[in-house]
Amino acid sequence: MLIDLTMNQGSPYNRRVMVIFSIVLASMIIISSQFPVAFAGNCKDDDGDLFCDPPDCNDDDKEVYPGNGCPYVPIDEINTVVKEIEDLAKAGTITSGQADSLLSKLQNAVNKIEVEKINVAINILTAMINQINAYINSGVLSPEDGKNLIDGVNAIINSL
């Protein structure tokens, strides 16, 4: 809403609107400074600076996290696995559907890591390892290619 402050500033109605507007604005500022702000995506502003604060890790809740502090998102390890999967798909070793299936599991695990559901992420990554083993056992992947992927997934798990 745009308020034109240049016209009819002297009218009692405009002065009354400006006073009410000023009071409402001041009240909103005071009230908002008294309570933590919650943003979409679990972003919280506990200190009132209107920026997201780091998540509070609950090390005591085994359903949330196994007790090793705030979760670290292992970007390098994840990128390594993504590149290996993409390379296998480009080489025709696995189909695009098989690659998508593996990448989907990896993305689901990353989503869980980002919301501090580390145990769930580990379960998803373990399912990914099981799928890779199935590809090895069915001859889709060579044992060497499969081992490289499994080592990469285990590196992600070990970094959590």
**pLDDT means over runs of 10, the chain (160 residues):** 50 63 60 46 56 53 52 82 94 94 92 86 96 96 96 92
What pTM, to 2 d.p., does this model score? 0.58
Confidence at residue 52, expressed as pLDDT on a 0 to 100 scale: 54
Cα-based distances in Å from 20 to 5, 12, 55, 67: 14, 12, 38, 51
- Return the sign of the alpha-carbon dihedral for residues 5, 8, 10, 15: negative
First and final CA of the chain: distance in angstroms? 48
Confidence at residue 35, expressed as pLDDT on a 0 to 100 scale: 46
